[in-house]
Structure 1
């Protein structure tokens, strides 16, 4: 009787979750469910080596999520705080490397000793400051995405101060060697890995170890010679492949890429209007790849991509894991547009890649999306992070609705009992 009563309680909790959850849809045979219904402003997601999902928060904390599947159609999903960042102003970036958990504020990177599977609050006195003086203030784009390569080097992306800056002094990805260095390291001591990336919030490694990024384009584009106020569909949000020499320039603020412009193919490069008369940055200059590396993909304007994750193939094709054909394909989380009349974004999309060149094929599938999204819809799914869990299911954070979703492939999802510690 006790087990039946518990199962009934879980069913009732599931019904309540569905009735109050953000409305989402999936493209069949993908299915989705509300995974964690109450978590403050979740942003970047990360799978640790023990199988827990770590979640950064714009409210300056890091949480861990652990699922226990009971094998009878039910699961328990526990959420606990592992870093209370009160006073640190943590915003977005998290990473794990060599026994430490890293997190970022707008002006610093911190770390704490961390053992995968640690499901309790980390002693706040163990904190170390790793990087200082990223920017002088938290003005402008404030996310600082973090990732490590196989050699243990730390990458930090920083976005622009304004819609269009006078140069790319902020909009860069820097790389740091952390091991055997005296800490903290001044930010300007890092080498410029990639230049001219306006706001590359999403960074992800392909299965072959190539770094990719998704970049947020500028607003209010007006080129009278190209049709005037063409900003509703341009400039494109960009996907870039960082396999070129370090310090390659990717365009911002001098150049922009087309998404949907009459008579021009997507990814065509043009000069931003305020630089046309400076004697250097012409359309021809922008279209020369030795000056400006073009993106490998143009994505819908103003859709705000914040995460890119490559499917590694864990459990592919089994128990709701993503299909094996998706191995080394990219999954991009779009937070969504704030522009009046533009409802791009509010989804996570699957971008198949070819095996030979590791480039997008041009196909796209929306695996989860808000069916009735409008501009600035903070009651819709505003996807900020996406990662695959230990079962090969996609976990997606919605930062304005304080929710996390699970997406699986052609399966029946368990009834979830949520526990908060």
Structure 2
């Protein structure tokens, strides 16, 4: 074993050991089930429908609270998942904000979205304040029902902001005309914009580069950290028929779609459309057993359903199939990659559009870090590995967590918002086999009932002293082992 690997292992051991927090939050519903090799803890509550979350350059957590604005949160970090809130304040109060949030790569600008527009604020992360009035960068995005506008700032191509816009549920056919701007993901170059530029600077329907269209509602977007490939998770329709058979229970599947690369020279024109993923004409197969005339079909294949004149063969020829397909109604909301690109995390907010609730979980997908491709084949039915799930889905959606935004911090912990319960969870790998651990629920230390209490003062100091002792012992052992390894 190398010294580096040994050091990493010892830090994992230290993180696992620090599981007993002096006081923890306890959910008002059944504690989540945590996968083997993971530990989870509820670290914040009382928020207003938290959707997208992101870390600023100081390590503070920004939370877009739908219908309220953007809040900034700092925590006392006692090691592992033992974090206690120590300060929170609103930095933007704007009730029209409902989902999207991004931060410029230099950390000096915050972007957020409403149904209609994308706004920008100058931001001072050191003191946690915005200055000036919000600037409208992109407008003309309104439509009915599918109202989230996810924002993704590219790390590979500075100044490139990706914006997703869902379809118009009152007129699905409008998504078949690219110039309408529905059911699309577009990329906008913000590099040369200044505070003096006219507002709004861009019109969503006529400006930007179309990375993909025929996407009913691609809420989550991510850029692979090694290759720069753009992926999006798609919420498909709730109800379809084929040959008079209602397939809504298990079809069509939700999707992971690959949109290509921002540095692609084909297409070369600004507004030339990227790949078309089929909506509203064709949909992806999930459960073959439910589908009439399913010969030559497989999971992920684009097929025709009632209501159009296309054949399965025409669907396959004209439209791009998903790279992976997930169970119907899971409702993926966000996707985030680990730093090395070997794992993507996906939050499934869940749905009760089937006979029983499904989804309501945080899962992972294995990727090949070098190629930027999922390890699983396109027709796989087991590409997902569950990490955090609800104990009893029959209690959903009212008495369970509903995952929304995700973020990874500087030490690799996964942060997850639950919008329906107004909470933030933190998860960390432990490397242990056997049952995972939820701190504050069954098998963990608990701190009361209902909303619980946060640790502070002397109790937090005790935790920090414990963590310091653990670190000292760990590094002492590392030094000794390092000397032994070099002999």
Give 1:94 shift.
0.5
Say if 2:64 is the partner of 1:64.
Answer: no
Relative contact order higher in (CA < 8 Å, ≥ 6 apart): 2
TM-score (norm 1): 0.83
Aligned-residue CA RMSD (Å): 2.5
Decide which of 302, 318, 327 is 1:300's aligned counterpart. Answer: 327
Say if 2:306 is the partner of 1:273.
Answer: yes
Deviations along 1:21-56, one digit per CA (max 9) or x if unpaired, are 553111112111111022111111112222222111
Say if 2:232 is the partner of 1:205.
Answer: no
- Gaps spanning 5+ residues in structure 1: where? 1-9, 314-326
| Partner of residue 448, structure 2 | none
Contact 1:339–1:375, Cα closer than 8 Å, also in 2: no
Distance 1:283 1:82, change over 3 A: same
Give 1:342 shift.
3.2
| Partner of residue 454, structure 2 | 417
Give 1:243 shift.
1.1
TM-score (norm 2): 0.73
Deviations along 1:84-123, one digit per CA (max 9) or x if unpaired, are 3334x1000011114210000000111111133443x434
Q: In the TM superposition, what are the counterparts of 1:176-195 in structure 2 within 5 Å?
A: 176-181=188-193, 182-183=197-198, 184=200, 185-188=202-205, 189-195=207-213
Give 1:164 shift.
6.9
Secondary structure at 2:70 match in 1: strand
Distance 1:308 1:74, change over 3 A: closer
User: Whole-Å Cα distance in 2 between the matches of residues 71 and 157 of structure 1?
Assistant: 36
Secondary structure at 2:124 match in 1: coil
Secondary structure at 1:243 match in 2: strand
Decide which of 99, 104, 107 is 2:113's aligned counterpart. Answer: 104
User: Whole-Å Cα distance in 1 between the matches of residues 174 and 185 of structure 2?
Assistant: 15
Contact 1:21–1:37, Cα closer than 8 Å, also in 2: no
Give 1:204 shift.
0.8
Give 1:19 shift.
5.6
Contact 1:379–1:400, Cα closer than 8 Å, also in 2: no
User: Whole-Å Cα distance in 1 between the matches of residues 159 and 48 of structure 2?
Assistant: 31
Give 1:418 shift.
6.3
* Structure with greater helix share of residues: 2
User: Whole-Å Cα distance in 2 between the matches of residues 132 and 284 of structure 1?
Assistant: 38
Distance 1:75 1:301, change over 3 A: closer
| Partner of residue 236, structure 1 | 253
Contact 1:94–1:103, Cα closer than 8 Å, also in 2: yes
Give 1:74 shift.
5.6
Which stretch shows the higher mean deviation, 58-67 or 235-244?
58-67
Contact 1:342–1:375, Cα closer than 8 Å, also in 2: no
Secondary structure at 2:73 match in 1: strand
Give 1:70 shift.
4.3
Deviations along 1:299-322, one digit per CA (max 9) or x if unpaired, are 111110000000115xxxxxxxxx
